[in-house]
């Protein structure tokens, strides 16, 4: 039997104190350090406590779990997005497009990553999908501070459009960089973070055999480079890792970058070609 420490919410049923005493995880015994009984108990620290058998009237453990797991929150991402989309105007999308420096089409439902305004969060939302085009979560971006988080109950996934894939896939980090790559004329997928989405990307590639090669855009820092190299080792397709000469894909787009310029950058990169 294990002993669990009492606290202010679960007080000792013998002395009614909130410290020092212990309760057995079977819910039937208390080890009180103040009130004696005919069953002394020596602890490893040298302290002496006294075991008391609990009656049904004072038993409060069922059994007691000091760190109960919260019940998972289940959300209907698709329905939430439909509601938010119905309240999002073209003018709002136009302003977001200007603020982010990406095209309006890259934020659309049909040819982009599908941005929608979530008034209850004062944030823009972007759907996250698994590798099989199923919406599994919603990433949020505060319109004023740029803070990023996800709707409770979401699972991390990928940001992408439902356009017909090209032979080259560009993988970057986050929804807005994905939108920037789409704005540059590239077929793109965005990861939720520099180390996430490996299995989803493998699934996506298996679902889209048109894709023959992958360009992984990495942030110029240790976590970003490690995440890109780890992904490259996992996907089993011709690929290269590129660190852009600017902060990120959005800055690349704002600086005049496009599909042609990226092609000139990657042509001299070292490509990884998996053995067949």
pLDDT per residue as tens, the chain (276 positions):
678 888 887 888 888 888 888 888 777 888 898 888 888 888 776 778 889 888 754 545 545 555 667 788 889 999 999 999 999 999 999 999 999 999 999 999 989 999 999 999 999 999 999 999 999 999 999 988 889 999 999 999 999 999 999 999 999 999 999 999 999 999 999 999 999 999 999 999 999 999 999 999 998 888 899 999 999 999 999 999 999 988 899 999 999 999 999 999 998 888 998 765
pLDDT of residue 29: 86
pLDDT of residue 143: 84
pLDDT of residue 56: 53
Is the CB of residue 22 less than 8 Å from the CB of residue 3? yes
* Domains in the chain: ranges and CATH: 3-53 (no CATH), 77-266 (3.40.1360.10)
pLDDT of residue 115: 98
């Amino acid at each position: 039997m294990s002993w669990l420490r009492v606290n202010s919410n679960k007080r000792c049923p013998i002395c009614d104190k909130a410290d020092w005493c212990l309760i057995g995880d079977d819910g039937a015994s208390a080890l009180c350090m103040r009130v004696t009984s005919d069953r002394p108990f020596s602890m490893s620290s040298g302290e002496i406590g006294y075991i008391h058998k609990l009656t049904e009237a004072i038993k409060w453990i069922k059994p007691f779990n000091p760190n109960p797991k919260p019940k998972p929150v289940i959300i209907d991402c698709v329905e939430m997005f439909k509601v938010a989309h119905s309240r999002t105007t073209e003018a709002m999308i136009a302003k977001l497009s200007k603020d982010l420096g990406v095209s309006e089409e890259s934020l659309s439902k049909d040819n982009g990553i599908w941005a929608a305004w979530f008034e209850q969060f004062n944030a823009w939302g972007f759907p996250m999908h698994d590798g099989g085009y199923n919406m599994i979560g919603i990433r949020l971006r505060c319109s004023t501070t740029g803070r990023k988080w996800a709707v409770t109950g979401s699972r991390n996934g990928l940001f992408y459009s439902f356009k017909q894939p090209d032979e080259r896939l560009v993988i970057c980090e986050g929804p807005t960089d994905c939108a920037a790559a789409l704005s540059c004329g590239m077929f793109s997928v965005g990861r939720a973070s520099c180390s996430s989405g490996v299995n989803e990307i493998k699934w996506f590639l298996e679902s889209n055999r048109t894709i023959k090669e992958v360009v992984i855009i990495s942030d110029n820092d240790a976590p970003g480079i490690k995440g890109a190299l780890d992904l490259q080792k996992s996907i089993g397709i011709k690929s290269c890792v590129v660190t852009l000469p600017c902060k990120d894909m959005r800055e690349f787009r704002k600086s005049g970058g496009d599909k042609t310029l990226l092609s000139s950058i990657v042509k001299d990169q070292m490509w990884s070609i998996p053995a067949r």
